[in-house]
Amino acid sequence: MATITQLPAELLQQLLQNFEDDKATLCHMSLVSPLFATVAQELLLRHLELSVDPDPDGLETSFDQLVKLLDEKPQLSTHVQSLTISSEHAWNQALKAMTRLFNLLSRVTSLRSLDLNHELVLSEDGLPLFHSCLDTNPLARLSKLRLRNPFIRWSIFTELLQIPNLDTLVLDHLPVPPLTFPNPLNRVCSLRILEVGYWRGQPNSPQAIVRDDHQT
């Protein structure tokens, strides 16, 4: 009689998918057998929520462990499909955070969704890092990008349109563009859905936010 550890990989995949949101259970199941470990690891890497900030005491963080794992086993990078990245960096630490972020993005070749939280700044100083990342990994499968920071510049928005297969772009905040600024949507791009929240005045004021959703 076949045991559970002898199940075909396809059946095991369907079984463990029931625990996709229960990372603790998946970690335990990965200890059952090498096959369980392979399937569980794939599910554990599929949707990740990480802080990009280094540990203040110099200890290894989950972010560091992921980069190290992908360096040691680059074949696992194809399992990472969704990333939610947070940061508590002050403004003067923004470039350091972006360096760490793009260091990870250059490794995840099958990423489909990226969500950057309120404090993670994509500044113009980081554009060379962004271009270098695209040279290494063009993010060819990234179809959804969400930026929550209230200080995104219009010029950054136009740069994001370089991502080749970006289908949905969600910007929680975006300054009203200068009247003389070229319309970025005139550029050839794959963008189909654009959701923009314009702010005027203080970006943290709820009254300043106006949602403006477009489908193109």
Q: What residues does each domain of the chain span?
A: 1-45, 52-215
**pLDDT for the residue 209:** 39
Tens digits of residue pLDDT in 133-174: 888 888 889 999 998 876 677 777 777 887 889 999 988 876
Q: Compute the average pLDDT of residues 16-38.
A: 81
pLDDT value for 116:
87
pTM of the model: 0.79
Residue type, 46: R
CATH code: domain 52-215 is 3.80.10
Residues 23-34 have a mean pLDDT of 81
Which CB contacts under 8 angstroms, 24+ apart, belong to 97-103?
97/52, 97/53, 97/121, 98/122, 98/123, 98/126, 98/129, 98/130, 99/126, 99/129, 100/52, 100/54, 100/63, 101/52, 102/126, 102/129, 102/130, 102/132, 102/133, 103/67
With a cut of 50, say whether residue 89 has pLDDT above it: yes
Identify residue 78 by its one-letter amino acid code: T
- How crowded is residue 32: how many other Cβ atoms within 10 Å of its Cβ? 13
Task: Dump pLDDT digits (tens) for 180-214.
Answer: 666 665 665 788 888 877 655 544 443 333 444 44
